[in-house]
Structure 1
Amino acid sequence: MDISQKKQVIQKLQDKLPLVPEPYKVIANEIGISEKELLDYIKELKNNKTLRRIGAVLNHRSVGFLANAMVVWYVPAERIKEVTDIMVSFPQVSHCYERELLNNWRYNIYTMIHSDSFDLCDNTIKKISQMTHIDNYEVLYSTKELKKSSMKYFLDEDNKNPC
């Protein structure tokens, strides 16, 4: 695969995947390579840590999730695995991350919780707190969606990212 085709792979992967049973075959055909070549190159990008993941973005508001809360928790280091296993068992939790403690921000676990109402979201947070016995947390509700896009690479001159 030449450098031009490699750039095309990256351009195609940062766009929406075709909604067909074999999206990688469609992408490979558009680039002029085999599906195997495409998948081998994706594996290479993954193995050398150039590509972290390929993921889907759900427009949560359009599917009915009107209440979205980032909940930050302080969890003692020795309980992180136990507590986060409980947190991620809730279907309302879409993300759960561990972060380093900071001097002026003493929370190390971040969860994103989605629900169709603020009351249901609050109930989920209370249940998580009760089940984990963690009551040191703060709730940060989303009020406006400011950005929902990723960085784009190898764009043509007309579609460059602003810097």
Structure 2
Amino acid sequence: MQIIAFTGTPGTGKTTLSKEFCKLYNGNYINILDIIKENKLYDTFDKKDDTLDVDINKFINFMIDFIVKKQNLNIECSEFDYLVIDSHLSHFIPNEYIDFVIVCVCDLKILNARLIERNYSKQKIKDNLDSEIFDTIVEEVKEIGHKFTVLNTSKNYIKNSIDQIKDLLKF
């Protein structure tokens, strides 16, 4: 079972792509936000920005254990071909536990519209646009040392993006 992480600034298409990938290619979709909430992997909740302040060390340690357990279960039953992790934090999981990272990026005008549609505060929109402008997540992924690709979701149709991902995973 390959472990694939979808990451990127909120609104860049991670969830849409990762869920569709799982449907088409026998993937086990993992929503990190649910895991963070259920396991209290955060310190505080920022009501103004509707954001959890995640304890990154707790998150990483939890995810390492989670991935190892999933891998052991899959060895026994071979249920899934992929474990697909969806979060703007998924790239923080150490590279020895992740086979490949898909960094979703998006045109700023399109991203801005998506974030407005989500009713994000002006400050939260600015913070996310700044993250995209400065390639924050791409730089973090490089620094961690993941095998990765950057996928621009601005104009790609979902099927085209999924096909690109599948081609990249033939390693």
More strand by share: 2
* RCO comparison, higher one (Cα < 8 Å, 6+): 2
Q: Which has the higher helix share?
A: 2
Q: State the TM bucket, normalised to the shorter chain.
A: under 0.3
Q: Which has the larger radius of gyration?
A: 1
